[in-house]
Amino acid sequence: MTEVRPPDAPTAGLWERDEEVAAIAEAIDTLCADRSSPGSLLVLRGEAGFGKTALLAETRRIAEQRGCTVWSARGGETLRSVPFNVVRRLLQPALVPMLPEEAREYLGDWYGIAGPALGIADPGQSHADPQGVCEGLVAAVRRLAHRDWPLVLLIDDAHWADQETLHWLACFAERLADLSVLVVVARRPGEISGVSAGHLDAVAAAADRPVTVLSALTPEAAAGLTRATLGTHADAAFCREVWAVTGGNPYETVELLAKVQDSELQPVEAHAGELRDLNRSARGGGLVARLEQLGIDATRFAWAAAILGNDITVDLVAELATLDDGSAARCAELLRSARILTAPDPSGAGGGTPGDLEFVHP
């Protein structure tokens, strides 16, 4: 049986994920050992709420601790039709600071082909064929990876990435043997079909090890997480019901336990029967109820953030929701406290624009 993490585990998404974390750490160590070491690719697959994003966050933590450069991006369900959206966001940390002359120097002959796809060059009158653009993007990332070694690329929600990005990713994955870069891709099973599914299959086939399929928490892990959250006095019957109600889904377990804390419910067998009602209020229509409890401004802020999709900043949301800066900042904090949005990162260390917000769960 997999060892259950102790109560000081950094995040619920990493409970019973020791093997996955070890594989990630090994790949990073290999990357950092030698500039000429071959690149590698890891693919994480799991249902919604099974901890894929938590594992990517742990990858970032380990990589940055080892001195790696880390760039990340994620697919968006409403942005699948935007060509090159995810690869553009992935390379933003490298592209945004560049002057046009620098971009030309780094991309060389590929500037006129890959530049328009990346949004750093005018497309002009001629249009390269899709395969040519893909090859240009591969060459562009190759040069950037050489400059920024050791480089780690993280792609979350790849099942929602645009087709053009997936085409590039499949081509790039085939060339990792002679390029020292680590790529970690997280996706759900299903969710995609047609050409895009073929590209994702090609990515999986190029991975260094079989696709990592994340499983639900065992009853033992759910009990450990329950006691780490509510206290060691949580009894066995209550812990078993937490697991039964959530099916071992880490995200749903965290949300349910937060509702238990909010309601000040004692974690004993006598109250185990109330968990199913609490679970229903923590998901689906319960989210709307939680928003309404936060007030009209917070609800407007959340709706505006949802419309923006992935490019969410407090300033943009404030403009869209017609809120002043102070009110918008308060709404962002309320939604963070309610576990609906993540807090903005003023440093931009997460790989995106400083101050970016994200929904805790898609």
Q: Is the pLDDT score of 34 beyond 50?
A: yes
pTM: 0.80
Tell me the average pLDDT of the chain.
85
| Residue 287 or residue 45, greater confidence | 45
Decide if pLDDT at 96 tops 90. Answer: no
Residue with tokens 């940055």: 64
Q: Which pLDDT belongs to residue 144?
A: 86
**How much is the pLDDT for 29?**
95
How confident is the model at residue 5, as a pLDDT? Answer: 39
pLDDT digits (tens, 9 = 90+) for 71-93: 999 998 888 889 999 999 898 88
Average pLDDT over residues 18-22: 94
The fold for domain 17-213 equals: Rossmann fold (3.40.50)
With respect to CATH, is domain 285-357 assigned 3.40.50?
no
Residue 302 to residues 245, 290, 294, 337, 359: CA-CA distances in angstroms?
28, 11, 10, 13, 9
How is residue 117 written in tokens? Answer: 């796809």
Using pLDDT thresholds of 50, 70 and 90, give the confidence band for residue 290: confident
pLDDT at 11: 63
Q: Which of 89-103, 229-243, 273-287 has the lowest mean pLDDT?
A: 273-287
Q: Kindly compute the dihedral angle of the four CA atoms of residues 199, 202, 206, 211, in this order, to the nearest 10 degrees.
A: 90
pLDDT in tens, 177-193: 888 999 999 999 987 77
Please tell me the least confidently modeled range out of 20-24, 285-289, 298-302.
Answer: 285-289
Domains of the chain, residue spans = 17-213, 219-281, 285-357
Q: Indicate if the pLDDT at residue 359 is higher than 60.
A: yes
The reported pLDDT for the residue numbered 347 is 43
With contact defined as beta carbons under 8 Å apart, do 50 and 34 qualify?
no
pLDDT at residue 166 in the model: 95
Q: Which pLDDT score is estimated for 93?
A: 81
Q: How far apart are CA 226 and CA 228, in angstroms?
A: 5
Looking at residue 126, its pLDDT comes to 58
What is the pLDDT averaged over residues 102-109? 82
Q: Is the dihedral of CA 140, 141, 142, 148 positive or negative?
A: positive
